[in-house]
Amino acid sequence: MERIHIAFFGPTNSGKSTLVNALCGQEVSLVSPQPGTTTDPVRKAIELPYGIGPAVLVDTAGIDDASVLGPERKRRTEAVIGQTDVAVVLQAKDAAMKSLLETLREAGIPSVVYEKEDTPDGLLQRIAQALPREEKRFLTGNLVKPGDKVVLVMPQDSEAPKGRIILPQVQVIRELLDRGCIPCCCTPETLRKALECSPALVITDSQVFRQVNAAIPADLPLTSFSILLAAQKGDVRTFVEGAGAIDKLQPGDRVLIAEACTHVPDTEDIGRIKIPALLRKLADVRVEIAAGNDFPDDLTPYALIIHCGACVANKFLVRFRTGKALLAGVPITNYGIALAKLQGMLDRVRIP
Ligand code: SF4
């Protein structure tokens, strides 16, 4: 289940860390009367009452900091805005906070202004009220109905984590069960046998699109886990449009691969190995990687941005970055859509 990200913003030494610690009931952030003690955002996963549920509390650095490290701290704090579901703002009358509240409002991110008289319980109740009440969007959207059998193709190669199934696949399996569908999991090697269940849909890992497409009837609906995730987390139509820029890439063009988290890439990494290799077959482009919060401020030098599936990030991060790319006039797509495009499959796959 996706965790609600609750970020705490305020001027340096305004008591954000003390407040986060009070809500957690334990010391999560370093508290010191010395201004600017929190340099990087500190995150704490926690289960919260009043219907909030699983959440991540994010304690940010002061954004008015004028010290040597100030600009970098400010940049990192602003990056947190892109990952925020609800913001708690301390000392809202401060000029920097007023401008932050305006930024949050423009980004459609709800904010709660912390008052000195707020108790932890009272503040949590106000956070619960501020939570965006979105209609639940199914990952599989309108692609399935109750009773449908769905074949899931999940390669268990060197890239698959040992002893477990990756998050997007777990999410889809759980959702299909919740929707009264009958998931049938297989690998590319056992796909032919799995098709005997007469599925209504095949969902595949996008790395084996071509292989799976060749093995199934041409009229059997096909999609990928990353396309489902793209549709749930971001504006999938924008990603499909953005993928059109792949056809126009010229030698020397800069392409940004944007990863939502930092992770240790392996030899089969989609963003660092597979997509760059496919891109270079088309044109001699320069591929650059931005991991975690290192998403560049200036996107204008890029001919294309390809974002990861954002499996551990929330939808605001993807929407925030998509908006930033569109404002800069740079096409943006994501791994799933880009892989479908690069494999000539974009017209074949179903998008919810
Ligand atoms: S899809 Fe993005 S968020 Fe998920 S592991 Fe890969 S880089 Fe991290």
Domain ranges of the chain: 4-130, 141-228, 237-342
CA atoms in the 13 A half-sphere facing the CB of 86: 22
Nearest CA, atom 1, ligand 1: 309
Asked: is 141-228 a CATH 3.90.180.10 domain? The reply is no
Q: Rounded mean pLDDT of 114-125?
A: 89
Tell me the pLDDT of the chain averaged across its residues. 85
- Ligand 1 centre to CA of 263 (Å) is 8
> What's the pLDDT score for residue 280?
92
Residue 258 Cα to ligand 1 midpoint, Å, equals 9
| Minimum CA distance residue for ligand 1 atom 6 | 308
- Per-residue pLDDT, 189: 95
Confidence (pTM) = 0.66
Q: Of ligand 1's atoms, which has the minimum distance to the CA of residue 270?
A: 6
Give the pLDDT of residue 224. 92
- pLDDT digits over 45-63, tens only? 888 888 888 888 888 877 7
- Amino acid identity of 343? Q
135 vs 323, which has greater pLDDT?
323
Residues 287-301: tens digit of each pLDDT: 999 988 788 989 999
Most confident of 47-56, 94-103, 179-188, 309-318: 179-188
Q: What integer pLDDT is reported at residue 12 of this predicted model?
A: 82
Q: Report yes or no: 199 and 149 within 8 Å, Cβ to Cβ.
A: yes
Nearest CA to 255 among 225, 232, 278? 278
Q: What is the pLDDT of residue 66?
A: 53
Compute the distance from residue 87 Cα to the ligand 1 centre, in Å.
24
pLDDT (mean) for 227-239: 83
Q: Any bridge partners for residue 203, and if so which?
A: 152, 223
* Whole-number pLDDT of residue 319: 79
CATH superfamily for 4-130 is P-loop containing nucleotide triphosphate hydrolases (3.40.50.300)
Residue 67's pLDDT band (boundaries 50, 70, 90)?
A: very low
In this structure, the residue with its CA closest to atom 4 of ligand 1 is: 311
User: For a pocket test of ligand 1, which of 262, 308, 317 has the largest count of ligand atoms closer than 8 A to its C-beta?
Assistant: 308
Give dist(CA 340, CA 227) in Å, integer. 9
Retrieve residue 123's tokens.
């503040």
- Is 68 a residue whose pLDDT tops 50? no
- The 8 Å CB, 24+ separation contacts for 176-182 are 176/140, 176/144, 176/150, 179/138, 179/140, 179/144, 179/145, 179/146, 180/146, 180/147, 181/140, 181/144, 181/145, 181/146, 181/147, 181/148, 181/149, 181/150, 182/147, 182/148, 182/149, 182/150
Yes or no: say if 282 and 249 are a contact pair by the CB < 8 Å rule.
Answer: yes
Q: Give me the pLDDT at residue 338, please.
A: 93
Q: Residue whose CA is closest, atom 3 of ligand 1?
A: 310
Residues having CB closer than 6 A to ligand 1 are 259-261, 263, 308-313
Please write the tens of the pLDDT for every residue from 155-206.
Answer: 987 667 778 888 889 999 999 999 999 999 999 999 999 999 999 999 999 8
Q: Pick 89 or 23 by higher pLDDT.
A: 89
* Distance between Cα 193 and ligand 1 center (Å): 31
CATH number of 237-342: 3.40.50.11410
Look at residues 239, 252, 250, 260 and name the one whose alpha carbon lies nearest to residue 330.
239
111 against 38, higher pLDDT? 111
Which atom in ligand 1 lies closest to the alpha carbon of residue 335?
1
Mean pLDDT over 79-94 rounds to: 84
Residue nearest to ligand 1 atom 8, measured at CA: 261
Give the pLDDT of residue 76.
Answer: 65
* pLDDT of 31 strictly over 60: no
More confident call, 218 vs 81: 218
In the chain, pLDDT over 70 holds for what percent of residues?
A: 88
Please list, residue by residue across 6-26, b when 16 or more beta carbons sit within 10 angstroms of its beta carbon and e when fewer do: bbbbbbbbbbbbebbbebbee
Which is more confidently placed, 294 or 278? Answer: 278
**Is the pLDDT higher at 48 or at 311?**
48
